Amino acid sequence: MIIEDVPCPFCGCLCDDITLTIKNNRIVGVENCCVLGNAKYLSKQRLKHPIMRKEGKWVEVSFDEAIEETARILSGATRPLLYGWSGTYNEAQVTAVHLAEELGALIDSTTSVCHNPSILAIQEVGHPGCTLGQVKNRADLVIYWGCNPIEAHPRHLSRYTTYADGYFFENTVSDRKVVVVDVRESETAKIADEFIQVKPGGDYLILSALRAMVRGRGDVVPATVAGVKKEQLQRVVDLCQKARYGAVFFGLGVSMTRGKYKNIRNAIELVSELNRKTKFTISAMRGHYNVYGFNEVLTWMAGYPFAVDFSRGIAFYNPGETTVIDVLARKEPDACLVVASDPGAHFPKTCIEHMAAIPTIQIDPCVNPTTALCQVQIPVAITGIEVAGTAYRMDGVPIRMKKVVETEFPTDKQILDRICERVRELNGNG
């Protein structure tokens, strides 16, 4: 059986043109996909049963026992932390927020350790964004700043920018210019028309210099800024001002370096400045395929996009205080539920040590570095392959993920619904 137009459940591009060949309820062929998505579709590794540590050893347990233990741990905790959510679908994320409210828990997502500063900047100065379709069909200048899509979002260039056909272009490869700003010559930098190599931590200075030059105040810019010659900056300003439609894409190389959200605020203000002369937009390169979706769901339900603390009985949001790294570094949580992410592979050592010291539960189809920190792990169906659901692409466009094979594994939502129901019973609210 051939299934066409399947959205890929890997990165924020959510490419929805994948063709899958299914034989005996297994994916045996993948077309149009990049190497990252391909690996996910064809992976055979997964956890087959829920597991629990008993007397220091992992033992296989039933779903009922794993759910009961999870509900018992979470309802008995005074400062539970619910973390992850970017690799699951919106319908499961809705249940997660209900569970957080019921528990009076702190709920945060992987946004907290990636585009958290970008969201703070957008909250301050707004977001002149656009859809990827607009970029594909209109943008004659693309700037990749602090990101390397050829390796992290491999089809971004072929679907939406450099190598994508555009409605208003005769020949996109020659008519579209690409500028890359980075601290090293990445694979994406190698195909750029102009590569600005910034000294680490120098993004804010470069953005300020470009803003001044666009404003016509190039006289205040010194001969070299953060290792970049003024002549090169002037060339980039000329490219920007000549463009009919410019699109800036930025990654963690600028949002998570020195300056953090001030860098993004400066970048947005540069784009606003350019919009006085031509059309310009700016967008974040979101990583997990549904990290944007969690920001949407939590905003609908609690009013804030990440790092919401329900311990006061209301939604309280104060990044720097209620963000996952900060609460773990202060050793506040006394229980932790991790869903659809892998903090064990990415968090600082102090945070991982605390997660290992408290009861931590993971809901995830696969064994990963977080498993080593856990008391319980519950395997689930894989969203976008074994279960349908909604996810938000990096430009905020919702896309319906498809179910392409049958599975006996429960979905994230089914497991979370059962945990939520049991927590309510244990709390006397059932």
Residues in contact with ligand SF4 by the rule CB under 6 A: 8, 10-11, 13-15, 33-34, 36-37, 153-155
Amino acid at 31: E
Nearest one of 341, 403, 412 to 370, comparing CA atoms: 341
Closest distance of CB 404 from ligand SF4, Å: 14
Least Cβ distance, residue 147 to ligand SF4 (angstroms): 13
Q: Give the nearest distance from C-beta 122 to ligand SF4 in angstroms.
A: 23
Q: Encoding tokens for residue 210?
A: 């470009």
Closer to ligand SF4 by Cβ: residue 20 or 82: 20
* Look-up of token digits 């064994």: 367
Residue 330 CB, shortest distance to ligand SF4, in Å, is 35
Asked whether 105 and 315 are in contact (CB, 8 A), the reply is no
How far apart CA 211 and CA 208 sit, in angstroms, is: 5
The SS3 assignment for 375 reads coil
Q: Where are the alpha helices (DSSP H) in 176-260?
A: 187-190, 203-214, 230-242, 252-255
What three-state secondary structure class fits 184? coil
The least distance separating ligand SF4 from the CB of residue 166, rounded to whole angstroms, comes to: 18
368, amino acid identity: N
Nearer to ligand SF4, 79 or 153 (CB): 153
Please, what is the minimum distance in Å from the beta carbon of residue 148 to ligand SF4?
Answer: 13
42-72 burial, b for 16+ CB within 10 Å, e for fewer?
A: eeeeebeebbbeeeeeeeebebeebbbbbbe
How many CA atoms lie within 13 Å of 1's alpha carbon, on the beta-carbon side? 9
Nearest partner of 84 among 331, 322, 343, judged by Cα: 343
| 3-state percent breakdown (helix, strand, coil) of the chain, nearest 5 | 40, 20, 40
User: CA 301 to CA 299: how far, in whole Å?
Assistant: 5
At closest approach, how far in Å is the CB of 157 from ligand SF4? Answer: 10
- Which lies closer to ligand SF4 via its Cβ, residue 37 or residue 333? 37
Contact 32, 158 (CB under 8 A): no
CB of 161 to ligand SF4, least distance (A): 12
What is the gyration radius of the CA atoms in the chain, in angstroms? 23
**Pick 6 or 47: Cβ nearer ligand SF4:** 6
Minimum separation from the CB atom of position 34 to ligand SF4 (A): 3
| CB-nearer residue toward ligand SF4: 14 or 308 | 14
CB-based contacts of 64: which residues, under 8 Å, 6+ apart?
A: none
Q: Which is nearer to ligand SF4, 11 or 363 (CB)?
A: 11
Q: Quick one: 202 or 287, whose CB is closer to ligand SF4?
A: 287
Measured from the CB atom, the residue of 149 and 359 that comes closer to ligand SF4 is 149
Tokens of 70: 């999870």
Q: Measured from the CB atom, is 33 or 221 closer to ligand SF4?
A: 33
